[in-house]
Amino acid sequence: MAITPRLAAIFFSLLCCRSASSLRPPNLISNSSGGVITHLPGFQGPLPFHLQTGYVEVDEDNGVHLFYYFVRSEREDSPGDDPVVLWLTGGPGCSVLTGLAYEIGPLSFDLNGYVGGLPKLVYKQDSWTKWFDKYPQFFSSPLYIAGDSYSGMIVPTVTSEIARGKEEGSQPNLNLKGYLVGNPVTDFNFDGPSRIPFAHGMGLISDEIYETAGYMMSSMWANDASVRQALGIHKGTVPSWSRCNYDIPYTNDIPSAVKYHLDVTTKGYRSLVYNGDHDMVVPFIGTQAWIRSLNFSTVDEWRPWFVDGQVAGFTRSYSNNLTFATVKGGGHTAPEYMPRQCFAMFVRWVSGDPL
């Protein structure tokens, strides 16, 4: 019998951090409604899940705050030790609404039913927060750091820093268990050259116009005045929302995340690395190449994994608790294209079950 985990997810657009040894509990600032959101423009009726929004102060001297969504677990029974997933959106510079509405969150835009005006929201059955309950106790709940795309550079780095802080006895002592990265940007020496053989050996078919219309809805919805008020967005902080802001002053001082993967996995933390097998931005053959460079031994040979009796992808397990998986039919990023399969993959992995 499959074990369904309990989960709460925190979505951040961007994470700014110093060395884990100097981390202190953040100053959480709720919005004007106390942080709890019960209704959103575009969604009919009350939200069927617990949503909070607010700001985290990251630079007291300059008054810099990061906006976050917190989605509480939805299962009502066994509320004891719910794991927490901190989801970091990639880009760099992309909004956390990407993860909330297009990837693992409980909402999505109703493209089929759109007839003009404010886009409608629908409840997504394949949310990674489905079946979970209990507001987490941050310092004692099992913690997983997660993200996709450019967060492949950020997630292992942050996880490595938290692990180092734990070794040095820094406070708070977070209950770190591992990390997961999807379609992860890792090292251009692996990611870049893999695009040519991938494109040569794989044909990709998609309806670009249809997908573009879906992405336009997020901009229309997020820039609506009633939506910004409902979410508690501070006036004047973001004049106009866009899915990704490529003008942010981002310093590319980590050319490769491979050493951080090696550091964290060899310390006993679990890791899941997955790719959509139709992703040409970060092709899976490049991801396989840097995983091979770690020189880990194979524990479970290459095999298919299934959802509802159908092949959902292929997987291989390595020493040091590293699992790699492909998601059949998944693009960049996999949960946008194959949410049900990605949800099943995540549930099995976080429960400690084989894919």
From 38-47, 123-132, 159-168, 206-215, the region with the lowest mean pLDDT: 123-132
pLDDT at 12 over 70: no
Residue 290 predicted with pLDDT over 90: yes
Task: Quickly state the pLDDT bin for 199 (edges 50, 70, 90).
Answer: low
Q: pLDDT tens across 306-342, in order? A: 999 999 999 999 999 999 999 999 988 898 889 889 9
pLDDT averaged over every residue in the chain = 75
Q: What does the pLDDT look like over 87-117, one tens digit per residue?
A: 877 777 777 777 777 676 777 777 777 667 7
Min mean pLDDT across 64-73, 208-217, 294-303, 327-336 is at 208-217
Contact 65, 54 (CB under 8 A): no
Euclidean distance between CA atoms 344 and 168, whole angstroms: 36
Q: Catalytic site residues?
A: 149, 279, 332
Separation between Cα atoms, residue 62 and residue 225, nearest integer Å: 27
Cβ-based neighbour number of residue 315 at 10 Å? 23
Predicted pLDDT at 134: 29
Sign of CA dihedral 214, 219, 222, 226: negative
> Is the omega angle on the peptide bond into residue 92 within 30 degrees of 0, that is, cis?
yes
Under 8 Å between Cβ of 305 and 323: no
Average pLDDT over residues 266-287: 91
Q: Give domain limits for the chain.
A: 8-188+206-269
CA distances to 65, 132, 142, 162, 307 from 171, rounded to whole Å, are: 22, 28, 16, 10, 41
Task: Give yes or no for a contact between 293 and 256, defined as CB atoms under 8 angstroms apart.
Answer: no
Contact 314, 326 (CB under 8 A): yes
- pLDDT at residue 179 above 80? yes
The tokens for 265 are 């996995």
Q: Which of 129, 186, 158, 182 is nearest to 11 (CA)?
A: 129
> Is the pLDDT at 198 greater than 60, yes or no?
yes
| Cα–Cα distance, 337 to 64 (Å, whole number) | 34
Q: How do strand 64-71 and strand 51-59 relate by DSSP bridges?
A: antiparallel
- Residue range 59-83, pLDDT digits in tens: 777 777 777 888 877 666 554 456 7
Residue 31 pLDDT exceeds 60 = no
Architecture category of domain 8-188+206-269 in CATH: 3-Layer(aba) Sandwich (3.40)
Tens of pLDDT, residues 218-262? 777 888 888 888 887 888 777 788 777 767 666 567 788 899 999
Q: What is the pLDDT of residues 123-168, one digit of tens each?
A: 776 554 332 232 345 567 788 888 888 888 888 888 988 888 888 8
Predicted local distance difference test score (pLDDT) of residue 233: 82
What pLDDT, on the 0 to 100 scale, is given for residue 17?
Answer: 29
Separation of alpha carbons 101 and 104, rounded Å: 7
Mean local confidence (pLDDT), 299-307: 94
